[in-house]
Amino acid sequence: MASPSRRHSRRHSRSQPGRWREDMGRARQCQRPSPAAPEDGPHTLVVIGRRFPLYSRLPGGSRDAEGSSSLAHQLGNQDDGPACAPMQRALLSLTIPLEMLQLVKSRMMEAMLKGLSRETHAQSCVQMLPTFICSTPDGTEKGNLLVVELCQKHVRTLWVKLLGDGNHSPEIMYKIFDVPESVMQGKGEELFGFIAQCVRQFLSGIDSPQTPIPLGFVFPFSCKQKKLDEAELISWSKGFCCSDVEGKDVVQLLQKAINSQEIYNVDVVALLNDTVGTIMTCSSGDKPCEIALVVDTGTNSCFMAEAQLVEMVEETSGRMCVNTEWGSFGEDGSLNDILTPYDQRVDQESCDPGLKRFEKLVGGLYLGEIVRHVLISLTAEKALFVGSNVTSLRTKDVIRTEQVLDIIDGEDGMETARKILEALGLSPSERDCCRVQQVCRAVVSRAAALCAAGLAAILTHMRQARDLDQLSVNVGVEGQLYQRQPSRFGEILQSVTGLLAPECTTTLLHAVDGTGRGAAMVTAVALRLAAQRREVDQLLAPLRLSYDDLKHVQALMRQEMELGLGRDTHANACVRMLPTYVCATPDGKEQGEFLALDLGGTNFRVLVVHVGKEGIRMASEIYVIPTTAMTGTGEALFDHIMECIIDFQQKQDLMAQVLPLGFTFSFPCQQLGLDKAVLLNWTKGFNASGCVGEDVVRLLREAAQRKEHLGLKVVAVINDTVGTMMSCGYDDPNCEIGLIVGTGSNACYMEEMRNVGTVEGEQGRMCINMEWGAFGDNGCLGSIFTTFDELVDEKTINAGKQRFEKLISGMYLGEIVRHILVAMVEKQLLFHGKPCSSLMERNIFQTKFLSTIEVDGLALRQVQGILQDLGIQASFEDSVLVRKVCHTVSLRAAQLCAAGLAAVVEKMRENRGLDKMAVTVGVDGTLYKLHPCFSQNVQETLRELAPNCNVTFLQSEDGSGKGAALVAAVACRGAEL
């Protein structure tokens, strides 16, 4: 096996200029384009003018007098002699009009979309490979890292010390090792063995202080990446073709090779493409770079894509860097109309004919070859080297891209051309040199223009995906074409991009230190994120419930239900299982006109409900219950309620009538009859004095008397769960369960009278208001409560009470999230660990934000906006974390709710002696209705926990006031009978 030969080693820091690839020859100064070379007498055709006029719009919209798009035509007019006709043809064929570039851009965009989509990915030539890199460096990356870059013909090993100072002055040491041709084309094992030897030699020369040493591997070939540290090589390119590597995980191959060199302290933690290295090199905390182009031997690009569009991975939040592998663009024939005969010959002579068509028009491995074929053709047409022996031109690779790049610059370039041509045994005239220069310029300009079309495609894709009118992006550029010709190549790139994507502004950044520094950052980011992920997971782990946990909760709920129903046990049961005296669901025969009150949810409503044969008509008004009334005296609260009723009756012109009233009172009550309900305790932030232990119907009647309102006839008082069940039961007779997941949470269901130990009678069924919100108040849910739940509970007005409700309902979820976020800030996992005063404010994070933040596909920009409105400055990554926290908390709530329901449906099924049971649950509550995935999570979990019950969920659209009216109707009918 060839052993690595050391070529270069030095220590430096960022302030030392020109260190990149000094080994490849004299570093060229960046030059402004010098005045154009002397033109070729009267035959000159200006392909690249000083301001590159070819790619400027023609006045009047780039159409000529005949109306055809004709930059080429315009060029033709400049040619005035038969001797230059072949030259003119050659140059024209290498010139791509703007309209065609637009087309190339559109085709590239199409190919990109095809590559991103799960369905079409396999057929797309632009593969759009996920890189699993979801964030750019934020400048806090710190530590010593090892980087290995496999480059064209050499391996570069780097030792990078990141100081966590915004990545302004990383210390970098590196060594370059030549890779012998035999290794590039030999066995895979040899190649990786060679790389491992480079690593060993490199490490032996430095004092590596730490162990284990994380290694980032820059591997600039197309790979199917599965994780940051798992990537299968799809195919070799750029002259590499080692056996037994394609289809294998190259991280493993390198790790194995490193281990067999007995370097046990090196861990390969990240593999990345060179484009990704570039994006990272060009990023710092205050200046993220979101696109990178590499225009070196080959060409490629990557950009930060919206993760939900990258369908090949599960990740749907945030952004992910996508390696486009655009070098393969055109393999499906989409570049055929711009390919010249020279390109065809270059392709045929390459080791992979038909493949990498875009790369073969743009990449440095091919530009020299294109020029050579143009020269061969012009020689044959006697437009060049008349009288010279040109056989040397027939040898592949005699003209190299570096030479092409040196030739295109002004008079120096002419001189270079002369020397190069003479070295090939030709005797070039002044005119030959000038023509060769023009050919070189045309080839390079075309490469830059095509690159611009690709860049414009990415920009437009990003702008559209982010739903922006304007997009401003930093673009990292790397590779010899840009580096040797930053002014010429860069200017064409920028100006043509501007023409093709006018809504986007780009700033081109040169990747100082090449890809290596970026690779170190990725490695550091990978370590930082892995550590962060571990910490976040640790923090959230107690909130994640397993199937067994949920089964346990289900069993406990079932146990508590029995205790609540039992004659001897109910007094001390925390799930009270209150009888409601509602013994049947509606049968459709109910009739009459009723008043209804709906108190205890987000809104207090007064309604008039007309129940008739033709259905139900309702009118209602929402009234506010001020916090002072909720927590003042009972008298004040019921006076306020009466005032609202009177106001409503006046508005509805109902003062003269005495309508029966159904009262939805959504708090735990010991019902002594349908119209007699003793409040057991307040919940959900209500705490009006003098009410607990009293019959709320009496409190309402007394308030009516105080207001001298004599026309009030309360006939029924019900819980909102019951109202919801009745309301939904009117439409679906199978509805025998009521569920509320709103401000509070509770359920009711039809229980067999024989099981209700607290009411006399064995026949039939009665609706039981479970008051499941209090489940766990006896401590039985101790293993489920987290420190965040305890913090939330402590600060409520009913600490220690309604513990299940405080895990599930809208009044509390936002607070749970807020406490988790505070803990994350303390652990430096969020907002850069900066204390955030608004986050310390109780109840600032309302549950409605959870519902918005979790909307599938909501751009993180909008999440940032929501947080900003709360006075919280969140980065993109912070937003991803906040969303994750919201998701964890709402998922747990939905799962717990399903565990409670599972206990209910299973009990009903057993009561009825059925193997399988179908039942409908009537549901209400803002959380259930407005949260984007709560209902789905409840239903999915319930299916798992109670597989023998086929449960349908029916959302109550009309609120529970309608149910109260229906109960009142039944009560009136009963009274009449």
Active site positions, annotated: 605, 666, 720
- Minimum CB distance to ligand BG6, residue 454 (Å): 51
- Minimum CB distance to ligand BG6, residue 742 (Å): 2
Nearer to ligand GLC, 347 or 815 (CB): 815
Using the contact rule CB under 6 A, the part of the chain among 131-139, 167-175, 405-413, 660-668 near ligand GLC is 660-668
Contact letters (x/-) for ligand GLC, 677-716, by CB under 6 A? ------xx--------------------------------
Q: State which of residues 602, 650, 783, 873 lies at the interface with ligand BG6 (CB under 6 A).
A: 602
**Which helix (H) or strand (E) element contains residue 851?**
helix 847-853
Q: Determine if 740 is a binding residue for ligand GLC (CB under 6 A).
A: yes
Residue 873 is given by DSSP the state -
- Minimum CB distance to ligand BG6, residue 671 (Å): 17
Asked whether 459 and 473 are in contact (CB, 8 A), the reply is yes
d(CA 851, CA 741): 13
Q: State which of residues 298, 744, 814, 922 lies at the interface with ligand GLC (CB under 6 A).
A: 744
683 binds, among ligand GLC, ligand BG6, none (CB under 5 to 8 A by kind): ligand GLC
DSSP code per residue over 399-440:
S-HHHHHHHTSHHHHHHHHHHHHHHTT----HHHHHHHHHHH
Asked whether 299 and 220 are in contact (CB, 8 A), the reply is no
- Minimum CB distance to ligand GLC, residue 767 (Å): 13
- Minimum CB distance to ligand BG6, residue 869 (Å): 22
How many CB atoms within 10 Å of residue 16?
10
d(CA 131, CA 236): 18
Instruction: Give the chain's radius of gyration (CA, Å).
Output: 38
Q: State which of residues 136, 255, 340, 666 lies at the interface with ligand GLC (CB under 6 A).
A: 666
667 binds, among ligand GLC, ligand BG6, none (CB under 5 to 8 A by kind): ligand GLC
Contact letters (x/-) for ligand GLC, 578-617, by CB under 6 A? ----------------------xx----------------
Given the structure tokens 């990240």, which residue do they identify?
270
Q: State which of residues 600, 738, 773, 900 lies at the interface with ligand BG6 (CB under 6 A).
A: 600
Contact letters (x/-) for ligand GLC, 546-585, by CB under 6 A? ----------------------------------------
Tokens describing residue 245: 């590597």
d(CA 142, CA 147): 14
Largest CA distance in the chain: 123
Asked whether 781 and 722 are in contact (CB, 8 A), the reply is no
**914-943 positions binding ligand GLC, by CB under 6 A:** none
Using the contact rule CB under 6 A, the part of the chain among 442-450, 759-767, 819-827, 923-931 near ligand BG6 is 923-931
**Which helix (H) or strand (E) element contains residue 943?**
helix 934-945
d(CA 454, CA 101): 9
Answer positive or negative: Cα dihedral of 294, 300, 301, 302.
negative
Q: Determine if 668 is a binding residue for ligand BG6 (CB under 6 A).
A: no
Q: State which of residues 586, 668, 723, 738 lies at the interface with ligand BG6 (CB under 6 A).
A: 723
Q: State which of residues 379, 719, 888, 941 lies at the interface with ligand GLC (CB under 6 A).
A: 719
Contact letters (x/-) for ligand BG6, 743-762, by CB under 6 A? x-------------------
Q: Determine if 742 is a binding residue for ligand BG6 (CB under 6 A).
A: yes
- Minimum CB distance to ligand GLC, residue 771 (Å): 6
Strand-pair partners of 949: 917
- Minimum CB distance to ligand GLC, residue 917 (Å): 24
Cβ-count burial 458-479 (b if 16+ within 10 Å, e if not):
bbbbbbebeeeeebebbbbbbb
Alpha-carbon distances, residue 275 vs 511, 598, 647, 865 (angstroms): 10, 62, 70, 31
Nearer to ligand BG6, 626 or 974 (CB): 626
Using the contact rule CB under 6 A, the part of the chain among 139-147, 663-671, 843-851, 942-950 near ligand GLC is 663-671
Nearer to ligand BG6, 363 or 742 (CB): 742
Tokens describing residue 242: 């080692």
Tokens describing residue 848: 């409605």
Residue 35 is given by DSSP the state S
Crossing angle of the two packed helices 514-540 and 810-826, in degrees rounded to 10 = 130
Using the contact rule CB under 6 A, the part of the chain among 579-587, 737-745, 819-827, 915-923 near ligand BG6 is 737-745
Size of site (CB under 6 A) for ligand GLC: 18
d(CA 543, CA 862): 26
Question: In sequence order, which residues have a C-beta less than 8 Å from that of residue 967 and are 6 or more positions away?
Answer: 582, 662, 674, 716, 718, 722, 723, 726
- Minimum CB distance to ligand BG6, residue 607 (Å): 9
Tokens describing residue 670: 């010991």
773 binds, among ligand BG6, ligand GLC, none (CB under 5 to 8 A by kind): ligand GLC
**767-826 positions binding ligand BG6, by CB under 6 A:** 810
Q: Determine if 959 is a binding residue for ligand GLC (CB under 6 A).
A: no
Residue 239's φ and ψ, nearest 5 degrees, are: 90, -10
Q: Determine if 746 is a binding residue for ligand GLC (CB under 6 A).
A: yes
- Minimum CB distance to ligand BG6, residue 559 (Å): 27
Query: How many residues would you count in the chain?
Result: 977
596 residue type, one letter:
A
Give the residue from 765, 573, 755, 602 showing the smallest Cα distance to 686: 602
Q: Which residues bind ligand GLC (CB under 6 A)?
A: 600-601, 666-668, 683-684, 719-721, 740, 742, 744-746, 771, 773, 805
Q: Which residues bind ligand BG6 (CB under 6 A)?
A: 598, 600-602, 664, 666, 720, 723, 740, 742-743, 810, 924-926, 959-961
